[in-house]
């Protein structure tokens, strides 16, 4: 009797992105004492982690992660245009774009 063992799917990129966003909010608080950065970073990170969890449970369920990543792309894009600074807004925008493309491709 042979059993085929398959590895369960885990959305590692989604969890890494969630940690990146939460860490960014924490760094904004540490460097600038910005409560807004802390709250928005941790809230966005938690939402992205939840989306990664949903995606892990059902690999076709990417809508929550896609919408959250699109919102982050829009918000960080506006911050980048206003400030012109690569860190942190530009990097977060690039990471968000990568995740939007990844999740968008998975919908097809």
pLDDT tens digit sequence for 19-59: 999 999 999 999 999 999 999 999 999 999 999 999 999 98
- The structural domain count of the chain equals 1
Is position 90 within any domain? yes
Domain interval for residue 65 = 12-107
Cα–Cα distance measured from residue 102 to residue 97, given in angstroms and rounded to the nearest whole number: 8
Contact 42, 62 (CB under 8 A): no
Cα–Cα distance measured from residue 57 to residue 31, given in angstroms and rounded to the nearest whole number: 36
Q: Collapsing DSSP states into helix, strand and coil, what is residue 5?
A: coil
Contact 108, 66 (CB under 8 A): no
Is position 71 within any domain? yes
- Rounded to two decimals, what is the model's pTM? 0.88
Cα–Cα distance measured from residue 69 to residue 98, given in angstroms and rounded to the nearest whole number: 9
């Amino acid at each position: 009797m042979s059993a085929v063992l398959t590895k369960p799917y885990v959305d590692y990129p989604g969890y890494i992105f969630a940690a990146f966003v939460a860490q960014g909010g924490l760094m904004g608080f540490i460097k600038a004492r910005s409560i807004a950065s802390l709250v928005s970073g941790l809230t966005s990170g938690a939402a992205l982690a939840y989306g990664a969890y949903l995606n892990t449970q059902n690999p076709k369920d990417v809508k929550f992660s896609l919408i959250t990543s699109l919102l982050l792309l829009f918000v960080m894009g506006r911050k980048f245009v206003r400030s012109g600074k690569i860190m942190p807004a530009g990097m977060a925008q690039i990471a968000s774009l990568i995740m939007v493309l990844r999740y968008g491709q998975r919908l097809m």
